[in-house]
Amino acid sequence: MTDARDTLTDEQAERMLAAMNEVVRAGEEMRRLRAEMIQLLAGLGWTQERIARIADMSQPAVSKQVAKHRPAGPPADPVVLSLDQRDIPWLEGRLWGLAEEISESCEDETARCARHVQAIARGRKRFTPQHVDELRRLVEEDLRRLRERLPTAFREAYDVISRGLDVPAEVTAPGSPSARRALAHRLQRDRLRDAFRA
């Protein structure tokens, strides 16, 4: 007869499967985002050979992605790569990039926003209004606590991002929200790293 202690409870099984579902979902979302980014780079004029080399993919695989996700009708407007854009996904991506830079700049002290950043990276947190507000509060707290250690560019970036999120512009920007977030995240991190080295 099986001892009750040797069986999984419903709660244990639910937690285990929920964790697995997060990994699967994050993988599916990342594949979808990669396809969007390939299409975006192709739209910016990158050759399929160049995309394949940088993405560590075969050229036929890139060609297949470009053909599969090519929009019907006239080509979409190209994505602007200026950091100063006011649509919500772009500002969320900038906030995410700023939070990651704060987190990685605190070698001997854990940033309050670090766990939230890790949850985004693992697909456990999405950019819902509630999660964005939570990340804003954590970033604000870190900027106050660590103001002597972080460059003023971090605070300046947050002030611009925060104002934009408080009063979002009524704009329709080219590119999917997830692709725009990823681009803004990368551009913001690079800009802040330059400021940190200066």
Question: How does pLDDT run across 37-88, given as a tens digit for each residue?
Answer: 888 888 888 899 999 998 889 999 999 888 887 766 666 677 788 899 999 9
Which residues, 6 or more positions from 97, have their beta carbon under 8 angstroms from its beta carbon? Answer: 184, 185, 186, 187, 188, 189, 192
Question: Is there a contact between 77 and 174 (Cβ–Cβ < 8 Å)?
Answer: yes
**What's the pLDDT score for residue 74?**
62
**What's the pLDDT score for residue 152?**
93
User: pTM higher than 0.85 for the full model?
Assistant: no
